[in-house]
Amino acid sequence: MREYTPDEDRLWQRKLRAQFPIITGHPELAYLDSAATAQKPQAVLDAVQTYLTTTNANAGRGTYPWANKTTELVERARRRVKEFLGDPDAEHSSVHFTSGTTEGLRTVARDWLVPQLADGDEILVPFSDHRANLEPWQEARRLLAARGVDVHLRALPYQETSGDYDHRALAEAVGPRTRFVAATHVHHVYGGDMNVHRLRAAVGPRVPICLDAAQSVGHLPVDVGDPALDVDFVVFSGHKAMALPGTGAVWARNTRGPVLAPAGWAGTPNTVGVVSLLAALDWLDAAGVDRVARHAVRLATRLTDRLRLLDVYEILGCGASLAAGSPLAEGQRRQGIVTFRHRDIPSDDLGFILFSHGFMVRADSLCQAGADEKDGVVRVSLHVHNTEEEIDRLLAVLESLA
């Protein structure tokens, strides 16, 4: 990717920020919760309005122009998801629209994995990531147990020092009965890239890998055409990638094992949501996802570098902040997510205090598997509309609380 001068970046960022009506309409507030759901640029709002006022009909049913156009838009969105993930011409791959990552992971578990598992099989799953990427595999195990089929869930090993997956231990954990690996691209609490580009080498060529890409698609490049990212499923939420809530997709490579075929009659798809996803992916591509990611990382680094100087704050994950010029530091590479706690102020109180200054952050246990209420943290998650000035104002408040 080409280098831009700071002035070019500032101009680019200002132009993009201006395209978020909810942001420009509330200059007194700073939205720092894009990991929960992303705000929508005008182009997405326009696409929804245009679709609903000119075309709205059911997809795959009917022969009149609005119905045909709707069907065509859904198919175009399917192709667009493939392109966006670096898989424009794959012969075998497929895209299934869902309501989000949670439903997508459940679809892979219930409709693809369960029918293939036999007594004594093992699957490797993450026990410290989002619960949406643990419960579907636990449910699969329960479903099979009820049929007398005993499947073992083993923990995907983590490195204690860096927090990403321990690829060496993983290679040792994969055995002849390992049938599946579920992993996460970017950790929603620790904010780091889990070094998933090393998974395939660790897991070997045979075992399918499913990637929870809820915190990566729409935030940083995800390229399944990269041989190092030879995963079998990419599951993501459209609403975190600037589309409407209730949208998401599963991309399936369909080369290891059967083709993913969601069971049963699917019913009417969320056509408006799919149209919004099409517009959102277009918008993100035009903005440049790699540039968006670099902006978020820059802001996250600005925040962590100064927060680290204050003893009262504990920053979770990603031991070292990204030093300028070393974006490939070993271990977790921080993306646009910074999670921390204050030594004396409970996290929900800190959330209220920050909102009294206009900052919208997430303050709770972040749906992390195994975490409970007392594990409250504050999470700041950044996107292209956020600015250095917002980070500096936030730091001033956090410093005043130290």
Q: Closest distance between ligand PMP and the C-beta of residue 118, in Å? A: 28
Compute the least distance from the CB of residue 100 to ligand PMP, in Å: 3
User: Within a 10 A sphere around the Cβ of 201, how many other Cβ atoms?
Assistant: 13
Q: Closest distance between ligand PMP and the C-beta of residue 245, in Å?
A: 8
Q: How far is the CB of 108 from ligand PMP (least distance, A)?
A: 13
Nearer to ligand PMP, 102 or 387 (CB): 102
334 burial via Cβ count (<10 Å: 0-12, 13-18, 19+): buried
* Choice between 82 and 130, CB closer to ligand PMP: 130
Residue where the block lists tokens 């030093």: 323
Q: Which residues bind ligand PMP (CB under 6 A)?
A: 100-102, 130, 132-133, 184, 188, 212, 214-215, 237, 367
In the complex, the smallest distance separating the C-beta of residue 347 from ligand PMP, rounded to whole angstroms, is: 17
Closest residue by Cα to residue 110 from 130, 137, 134, 132: 137
State in angstroms the smallest separation of the CB of 102 from ligand PMP: 3
Question: Mind spelling out the 3-state secondary structure of the chain?
Answer: CCCCCHHHHHHHHHHHHCCCHHHHCCCCCEECECCCCCCCCHHHHHHHHHHHHHCCCCCCCCCCHHHHHHHHHHHHHHHHHHHHCCCCCCCCCEEEEECCHHHHHHHHHHHHHHHHCCCCCEEEECCCCEHHHCHHHHHHHHHHHHCCCCCEEEECCECCCCCCECHHHHHHHCCCCEEEEEEECECCCCCEECCHHHHHHHHCCCCCEEEECCCCCCCCCCCCCCHHHCCCEEEEEHHHHCCCCCCEEEEECCCCCCCCCCCCCCCCCCHHHHHHHHHHHHHHHHHCHHHHHHHHHHHHHHHHHHHCCCCCEEECCCCCCCCCCCCCCCCCEECCEEEEEECCCCHHHHHHHHHHCCEECEEECCCECCCCHHHCEEEEECCCCCCHHHHHHHHHHHHHCC
- C-beta of 101 vs 321, nearer to ligand PMP: 101
| 112 vs 236, beta carbon nearer ligand PMP | 236
Beta carbon nearer to ligand PMP, 71 or 347:
347
Please check whether residue 253 is in contact with residue 93, taking contact to mean a CB–CB distance below 8 angstroms.
yes
Nearer to ligand PMP, 133 or 335 (CB): 133
Residue 244 or 278 having the CB closest to ligand PMP? 244
Shortest CB 192 distance to ligand PMP, Å: 12
- 162 or 184: whose CB is closer to ligand PMP? 184
Smaller CB separation from ligand PMP, 214 or 398? 214
Min dist CB 133 to ligand PMP, Å, is: 5
Position with the least CB separation from ligand PMP: 100
Q: Which is nearer to ligand PMP, 360 or 367 (CB)?
A: 367
Shortest spacing between CB 399 and ligand PMP, in angstroms:
28
- The CA dihedral of 277, 281, 283, 285, to the nearest 10 degrees, is 180
CB of 136 to ligand PMP, least distance (A): 10
